[in-house]
Chain A
Amino acid sequence: MWTAILVAALGCYALKLAGLSLPPRVLAHPVVARVADLIPVALLAALVAVQVWSEGGTLTMDARTAGLGFAVVALLLRAPFLVVVVGAALTAALLRLL
């Protein structure tokens, strides 16, 4: 675990420093700009899906789906981040109590 933490720390810092140090024309290449724009979208969407609908190598559907449903509604209503996250947790927790 500590190796992973240090690798992530070094990698993320190197990217930040590279951004401040590289000449800006790197971005001018349209494919680089497009891929860089799309990577966070793809990763975050995949993280949502895997986090909510998988459990140890199998696909599942449980109270987490209801939590995500709450998050969608809260985001549509422009609720702040903390409301979205805490509300999703409470929704799932309440459903498990039933």
Chain B
Amino acid sequence: MPHASLPPAQRRTILGEGVAVGVATGAYGISFGAVSVAAGLSVLQTCALSLLVFTGASQFALVGVVAAGGAPISGALTAILLGSRNALYGLRMAHLLDFHGWRRAAAAHVLIDESTAMAVNRPTTAEARLGFLTTGIAVFVLWNLATLAGALAGTALGDPRTYGLDAAVGAAFLALLWPRLADRRHQVVAVLAAAVALGLVPLTAAGVPVLAAAGVALLAGLLTGRRTAA
């Protein structure tokens, strides 16, 4: 019982916050479900993504590449590259959460943007664990229920273009990108990456342009490094 030492009022606050984040995040699981079915995945495949991959931006990336006509495996690679930020969260959280063995293996599955955000600023391990697990589990349950609901609704709708679902995917990516655009360097990288990807669209197989855009990040990281070193 790692949370036994926390006062009940504080426990309730952390639990309430976690559930609230879960409800808010679960809501866009509905759009993921609908978008994924519109991209041509079955309801079962859509639900498998939410259960097994369980990191929203990566899931949207996989179905986005498939929707654009790309090979599923290049969608998977894009998803994994986007998932690399979860490793960064883990590096920041490992000491604070202090999980070991099977608990660490289980906790890793719910290591996502939201669970990290709700735990990273807690002063003690007990509070961080409670915030992390409550948020992670609430998001997991609601995200998966919402995915199923969205996938079923998407199947019932018919041609996704009639409802503008193809436009919803671009909007979803922009919404995920938006909070990162406050930084000037991020803005430059975003514009360059978009330009490189569009430039490659007529020249390469679908899915390749997005992966190539990761090269922009790599180059920018290396080059700006040299500049600061000089």
A48 touches B170 (CB 8 A): yes
Is A47 an interface residue, CB under 8 A from the partner? yes
A45 touches B190 (CB 8 A): yes
B82 touches A40 (CB 8 A): yes
Contact with B along A6-30 (1 / 0, CB 8 A): 1111011101111111101011001
A40 touches B180 (CB 8 A): yes
Q: Which of B28, B76, B194 contacts A46 (CB 8 A)?
A: B194
* Interface SS of B by simple majority: helix
How many residue pairs between the two chains, A and B, have CB atoms under 8 Å in the bound complex? 325
Chain A, residue nearest B185 (CB): A38
B39 to chain A, nearest CB (A): 10
Contact with A along B102-116 (1 / 0, CB 8 A): 001101110100000
Given contacts A12-B86, A24-B94, are A57 and B206 in contact (CB under 8 A)? yes
Report, as a range, how many residues of chain A touch the other chain: 35 or more
CA–CA, A35 and B217, complex, Å: 6
A73 to chain B, nearest CB (A): 11
Is B81 an interface residue, CB under 8 A from the partner? yes
Chain B contacts for A91, CB-based, 8 A: 164, 167
Contact with A along B58-86 (1 / 0, CB 8 A): 10111011111101110110111111111
A24 touches B95 (CB 8 A): yes
Extra contacts, 8 of them, besides A2-B48, A44-B57, A72-B174 (Cβ < 8 A), are: A8-B49, A42-B190, A49-B195, A51-B173, A59-B198, A64-B166, A93-B162, A93-B167
List 14 contacting pairs A-B, 8 Å CB cutoff, sorted by A.
A3-B73, A5-B52, A8-B58, A8-B75, A35-B217, A38-B189, A41-B181, A41-B190, A44-B82, A45-B177, A54-B68, A56-B68, A57-B69, A94-B164
